[in-house]
Amino acid sequence: MASDIHVPWKIEGASKIRMDEATYAEESEENMGYCVKCHQSQSQVEPDAEIYKCESCGEPAVYGLQQLMLYQWIDLEDGVDE
């Protein structure tokens, strides 16, 4: 059912995550996730995770990196300063 899908673009205040390809590759292997509201990384997040509670802002807006990539919610760029 479409209403049960928790896609990042339906979260108020969400924005895409920007990172370079090397960071994406490294953090994918470390099971990192990102909050689409405050952009803080979070460890021990399954690659396909959706709407986990963020340890920084408390919002249910953390997604696994592979899930964010599937939703095209990561902008991969060369040399992004973090």
What the block records as the tokens of 40 is 């803080």
What the block records as the tokens of 12 is 């108020």
Sequence-separated (6 or more) residues with CB below 8 Å from residue 25: none
- Mean pLDDT for back-to-back runs of 10 residues, the chain (82 residues): 67 92 94 96 96 96 95 84 52
